[in-house]
């Protein structure tokens, strides 16, 4: 099997911007909005999702020929659910604080449409190295948007980033930014700005 190196690189880059899961494809929105009240939570969620995404893309691209077409979706979900259980127990054991603040959004990675979507659209059709590249690219693409969103919300909502206070006592936090309403509005403006940037670039 010859492996086209350029192809793998372009699969990897694809998720970063051109087909960024959040900004371009608008999938996986629930965790994006729910857990980005602080930078740390955004990063943890991004990494947890990336892990599940990459691992299930590896497994599914390896066994894609063994799965009958009729039952592929339930099979994918079962593989994903297994890795999610793994991540959940790992976080509970080693990072109980993060596990508590992400609460049900860790198990909800099972139904994150980003993960199932990539299995259906990519892993089930391509070779394992390309699936790994796609998983890593999509994972980083998802994570950087979550971290950016978390940073913006934490900065305005609490005057800090990663828990370090940046703004002094004079700053009166905009509490709305860490509440649900702030999540919707920040992401709306962020997607608008990204649209503007990618249009200017053309």
Task: Report how far apart, in Å, the C-alpha atoms of 148 and of each of 15, 79, 116, 142, 186 are.
Answer: 16, 30, 24, 10, 10
Work out the angle between the directed axes of helices 39-63 and 128-158 (0-180°, nearest 10). 170
- Is 162 a binding residue for another protein by CB under 8 A? The answer is no
Residue from 8, 16, 58, 77 touching another protein (CB under 8 A): that is 77
Please, what is the minimum distance in Å from the beta carbon of residue 146 to another protein? Answer: 13
- Is 34 a binding residue for another protein by CB under 8 A? The answer is yes
Residue from 3, 26, 62, 63 touching another protein (CB under 8 A): that is 26
If the CB atoms of residues 27 and 148 are measured against another protein, the closer one turns out to be 27
Q: How many CB atoms lie within 10 A of CB 23?
A: 21
Judged by CB under 8 A, the stretch of 47-55, 110-118, 124-132, 144-152 that binds another protein is 110-118
Which residues partner with 161 through β-bridges?
A: 164
Judged by CB under 8 A, the stretch of 13-21, 47-55, 127-135, 185-193 that binds another protein is 185-193
Q: Where are the beta strands (DSSP E) in 74-128?
A: none
Give dist(CA 49, CA 47) in Å, integer.
Answer: 5
Residue from 29, 67, 140, 167 touching another protein (CB under 8 A): that is 29
């Amino acid at each position: 099997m010859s492996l086209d190196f350029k192809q793998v690189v372009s699969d990897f880059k694809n998720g970063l911007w051109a087909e960024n899961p959040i900004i371009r494809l608008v999938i996986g929105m629930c965790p994006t909005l729910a857990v980005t009240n602080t930078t740390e939570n955004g990063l943890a969620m991004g990494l947890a999702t990336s892990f599940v995404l990459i691992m299930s893309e590896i497994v599914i691209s390896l066994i894609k020929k063994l799965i009958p077409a009729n039952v592929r979706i339930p099979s994918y979900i079962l593989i994903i659910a297994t890795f999610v259980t793994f991540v959940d127990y790992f976080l509970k054991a080693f990072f109980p604080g993060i596990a508590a603040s992400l609460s049900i959004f860790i198990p909800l990675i099972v139904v994150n449409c980003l993960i199932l979507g990539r299995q259906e659209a990519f892993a089930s059709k391509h070779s394992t190295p390309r699936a790994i590249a796609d998983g890593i690219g999509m994972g980083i693409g998802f994570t950087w948007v979550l971290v950016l969103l978390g940073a913006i919300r934490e900065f305005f909502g609490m005057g800090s980033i990663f828990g370090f206070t940046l703004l002094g006592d004079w700053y009166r936090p905009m509490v709305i930014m860490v509440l649900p309403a702030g999540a919707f509005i920040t992401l709306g403006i962020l997607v608008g700005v990204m649209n503007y940037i990618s249009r200017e670039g053309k």
